[in-house]
Amino acid sequence: QEITGGNVYLDNVQANGNRLTGAMIEATGEVGISNSIFSFSLHGKGLSVTAGGEITLTNVTAANNDLDGAYLKGACTTGTVTGGTFADNGQYGLEVIDGNLILNDSPIFANNGAGNIFEDPGTCIFIEVTDDDPGASDEDPGDSGEDTGKTDEDTGDTGYDTGVTDN
């Protein structure tokens, strides 16, 4: 079955024993699928999603399909998989194209013919921002913040922020 639309949300769907792809979703916005099963698709994928927005799979089972269990194609967006099972598929358990993959709550991957996960961000660039030391400060305690060019007598600070810490 093919589903198209802006945002698509599916819950408690079963697409089993199809001759081609179990479910094909094309959306210009977000796609969210939860508590659903896509299995035993002959000559196809269990689930195929193409979306312009975020793709979220929660407790999805995609198993025993001739090709991929689940195929996700984004537009430099994020695919988040929470829980679920992706096993015994002819190709990959999960294939993510032009997107970033986030796995939560240990999804199960097993016995997939070509490998458990294939991820290709394409030409997309994803940057993970972390704050290793949330208590750190970039401010120099001896600097008033004004760039006067004058030297502080007590620290030797010129008032210019050079990134060097006074000792």
pLDDT tens track for 84-128: 999 999 999 999 999 999 999 999 999 999 999 999 998 888 777
**Widest Cα–Cα separation across the chain:** 81
Q: Is residue 101 helix, strand or coil?
A: strand
Per the CB < 8 A criterion, the answer to whether 15 and 46 are in contact is: yes
Alpha carbon separation from 132 to 100, 136, 167 (Å, rounded) = 22, 9, 23
Task: Report the pLDDT value the prediction gives residue 102, as an integer from 0 to 100.
Answer: 96
Per the CB < 8 A criterion, the answer to whether 87 and 112 are in contact is: yes
- pLDDT bin (cut points 50, 70, 90) of residue 133 is low
d(Cα 7, Cα 96) in Å, to the nearest integer? 19
Its pTM stands at 0.74
Lowest pLDDT segment from 4-8, 135-139, 159-163: 159-163
d(Cα 67, Cα 70) in Å, to the nearest integer? 9
Q: Enter the tokens of residue 13.
A: 């769907």
Average pLDDT, the chain: 84
Task: Report the pLDDT value the prediction gives residue 135, as an integer from 0 to 100.
Answer: 58
Q: Which residue has the higher pLDDT, 150 or 81?
A: 81
- pLDDT bin (cut points 50, 70, 90) of residue 129 is confident
